[in-house]
Amino acid sequence: GALVYQYPRRTICKSGTSMRMECQAVGFQATSVAWYRQSPQKTFELIALSTVNSAIKYEQNFTQEKFPISHPNLSFSSMTVLNAYLEDRGLYLCGARVMGFQNTLYFGAGTRLSVL
Amino acid sequence: SQLAEENPWALSVHEGESVTVNCSYKTSITALQWYRQKSGEGPAQLILIRSNEREKRNGRLRATLDTSSQSSSLSITATRCEDTAVYFCADNTNTGKLTFGDGTVLTVKP
Task: Give domain limits for chain A.
Answer: 3-109
B79 CB neighbour count, 10 Å cutoff: 21
Cα gap A34→A39, rounded to integer Å: 16
State residue A96 phi and psi, 5-degree precision: -110, 140
Report CA dihedral (A68, A73, A75, A78) to the nearest 10 degrees. -10
Superfamily of domain A3-109: Immunoglobulins (2.60.40.10)
Q: Does A107 contact B42 at a Cβ distance shorter than 8 Å?
A: yes
Residue B94, pLDDT score: 64
Domain region containing B28: 4-109
- Residue B25 maps to which CATH number? 2.60.40.10
Chain A residues lying within 8 Å of B2, measured CB to CB? 43
Burial B21-32 (b: 16+ CB within 10 A, else e): bbbbbeeebebb
Chain A residues lying within 8 Å of B102, measured CB to CB? 41-43
Cα gap A30→A26, rounded to integer Å: 9
Report CA dihedral (A2, B61, B33, A80) to the nearest 10 degrees. -40
What's the pLDDT band for A6 if we cut at 50, 70, 90?
A: very high
Distance from CA of B50 to the nearest CA of A (A): 10
Tens digit of each residue's pLDDT (9 = 90 or more) over A42-78: 889 999 999 877 889 999 999 999 999 999 888 999 9
Residue A52 in contact with partner chain B when CB distance is under 8 A: no
> Residue B8: is its pLDDT beyond 80?
no
Sign of the dihedral through C-alpha B24, B28, B34, B39? negative
Residue A9 DSSP one-character state: S
Among B52, B18, B55, B11, residue whose Cα is nearest residue B34 = B55
Number of domains in chain B: 1
Among B24, B20, B1, residue whose Cα is nearest residue B11 = B20
What's the pLDDT band for B4 if we cut at 50, 70, 90?
A: low
